[in-house]
Structure 1
Amino acid sequence: MLALIRHGQTDWNFAGRLQGRTDIPLNAVGRAQARAAASAYAGGYWEAVVSSPLGRARETAEILADALDLPFTGTYDELLEQEYGEAEGITGAELATRWPDRVIPGKEADADVAARGRRAMHRIAAEHDGQHVLVVAHGAFLRHTLSSVSGHDARHYPRFDNLSSSVVQFANGAWHVRTIGDVPYLEAAVAIERRAAEAERAA
């Protein structure tokens, strides 16, 4: 079982700027979010913590590990956020103006993000021998990874709050999504499908 957790807030999050691979640190709010979230994972079920190498994810993971007295067992390059190329550092409004078709120079393909997300889950599971692991990563990365498991279009996934978690389980030879952004899977799937239908009607 893996809990895929979005890192705590950064100043760029607060300003609505795309971060991608830009290594923006947590701010004070983000550190407080991580400390407050730790209680949700107490009780002995979770056994280790890992993260993306980017500082905002690693620091979130280290705060969780310290608060829960769990081992922080390292970083995985496969958990890096999606590369946004020339769009990193700009706001969503600027993005819509400059690249309305979202064909952004230097942007990592969505399918490539999803593929390495699945590789990350398999590698973490293999290297932790059946343990239940907290995995701290990034919003776009989580959206594409989870969509590749659930079969829903990532465009209709919800925006993940800082420190929200989505639980996946490996069973019967495949990964299964159990929660999406702290919402039970079936409930979240209905909302995703509703957004997809609304988008189709509006097209």
Structure 2
Amino acid sequence: MTTPLVALIRHGQTAWNLESRMQGSTDVPLNDTGRAEARARGEELAALPVRWSACFSSDLSRAEETARLIVQRLRAAGPPLGPEPQLSARLRERSFGQAEGLRVEELFARWPGIREVAASTGWTERDSLNDLLQPGSVPGLEDAEACGRRGADFLAEVLQEHGTAADAGHAASTPPGPDMSSGPAEGIAVVCHGTLIRLVTAQLTGTLLPKLANGAVVWLRPSEGRWELSVGPGSTASPRVSDPAPS
């Protein structure tokens, strides 16, 4: 039975990313830089020894357009990838409630307790704002564990449909990268959001990734009822983790 690689891909840049505003569940479209990032990511993924069998995407427009641009390139590289990404609201970014649309200083001014957390933890603007948001710190904030679980459950269902059983409750150590030496691997592309990717991988593997840049790719592979995490399979599609733009 073929065990597929899962490529979790963060969407391209938006105007709110450029302005360092929190996006969350707000539907903000890609800007031209984001479209260029999506096309470049498609080129890089198409060049890998991976046989792409499916693409799934958050239904927020910044992820959907990223997915469609990536699929155009993957489809051009050859079968069996279908013509359109499959959309799901379960792949949406964590909802940041009343914090959505705010810049860092606006967030700190409205809820001083968040500034105190930043000061006590050594947080900088190169880190994820999500890491400052504790339960109850912002009205309407989605529970982080619940957000990670909906993403993890979605992946488990996708893999089950592809003939693979992986227990989303078991963690695995981080390997150096997927082994593609024996020929093309089967791949499933999942285009979504930075915080969702970090929460899902933390829940599945026990590893909290650094902040992910727009267009970053994180690889997951189920193996013997466990999940393996690899940040980049030795390709140019590996994540940049120091981008200052929030999710």
**Structure whose CA Rg is larger:** 2
Q: Is 2:130 the counterpart of 1:96?
A: no
Q: Output the TM-score relative to the length of structure 2.
A: 0.68
**Alignment check: 8 A CA contact 2:68 2:85 kept:** no
Cα offset, 1:126, TM superposition: 2.2
Q: Percent of aligned positions with the same letter in both sequences?
A: 35
Q: Is 2:137 the counterpart of 1:133?
A: no
What corresponds to 2:34 in structure 1?
A: 30
Task: Find 1:161's aligned residue among 213, 220, 224.
Answer: 213
Task: Find 1:13's aligned residue among 3, 14, 17.
Answer: 17
Letter in 2 for 1:140: T
Q: Is 2:110 the counterpart of 1:58?
A: no
CA–CA distance in 2 between the matches of 1:32 and 1:127?
A: 32
CA–CA distance in 2 between the matches of 1:135 and 1:19?
A: 19
Task: Find 1:182's aligned residue among 238, 241, 246.
Answer: 238
**Alignment check: 8 A CA contact 1:3 1:168 kept:** yes
Q: Is 2:201 the counterpart of 1:146?
A: yes
CA–CA distance in 1 between the matches of 2:109 and 2:158?
A: 39
CA–CA distance in 2 between the matches of 1:66 and 1:53?
A: 17
What corresponds to 2:142 in structure 1?
A: 108
Q: Which has the higher contact order (CA 8 A, sep 6+)?
A: 2
Provide the alpha-carbon RMSD of the alignment.
Answer: 1.9
Unaligned runs of 5+ in 1: 189-203
Letter in 2 for 1:105: P
CA–CA distance in 1 between the matches of 2:220 and 2:37?
A: 22
What corresponds to 1:82 in structure 2?
A: 94
Unaligned runs of 5+ in 2: 76-80, 115-132, 165-185, 242-247
Cα offset, 1:96, TM superposition: 2.4
The answer to which structure has the higher helix fraction is 1
> How many residues in Structure 1 have an aligned counterpart in Structure 2?
181
Q: Output the TM-score relative to the length of structure 1.
A: 0.82
What corresponds to 2:73 in structure 1?
A: 67
